[in-house]
Amino acid sequence: MSETLGQKQKRFAKMIPRLIDKAHELGYEVTLGDAYRDPRVFGDLGVKIAYSAAYSCHKIRLAIDLNLFKDGQYIKNDAGHKLLGPWWESLAPDHCWGGRFDDFNHYSLTHEGLK
């Protein structure tokens, strides 16, 4: 039996501390970017408002943007994420790293085709 969305959301929330710990282990500091994108601001799933994609795992609580810092400087490219992203993907088949689609600080679980 496959996971419900709620079960997946809980598993995702449980995995985020491991992602942050791995970033620290690799020598990075982190701040959190977008996680949940409220439909009152970004539109319901399938609707594009502001900068959010119409179909986004952020809208269903299955994505987070993680900002990496090295020596106090924000990393504005995929450096660092090139190590962290593949590690994240290695944890489970539904773990997705946005570096595969030009969104390098995006970490998510796939759900019904959404990344």
Count of domains observed in the chain: 1
87, part of any domain: yes
Q: Is the pLDDT of residue 71 over 80?
A: yes
**pLDDT confidence tier of residue 1, bands split at 50, 70 and 90:** low
Mean pLDDT of 40-66: 90
Longest dimension (CA), the chain: 46
Q: Is residue 41 part of a domain?
A: yes
For residue 114, tell me if it sits in a domain: no
CATH number at residue 47: 3.30.1380.10
Q: Which domain holds residue 57?
A: 5-109
Residue 115: the pLDDT is 93
* 100: in domain: yes
Residue among 83, 87, 78 at smallest CA distance from 105: 78
Is 94 contained in some domain?
Answer: yes
Average pLDDT, the chain: 94
**pLDDT given for residue 59 in this prediction:** 96
pTM for this entry: 0.94
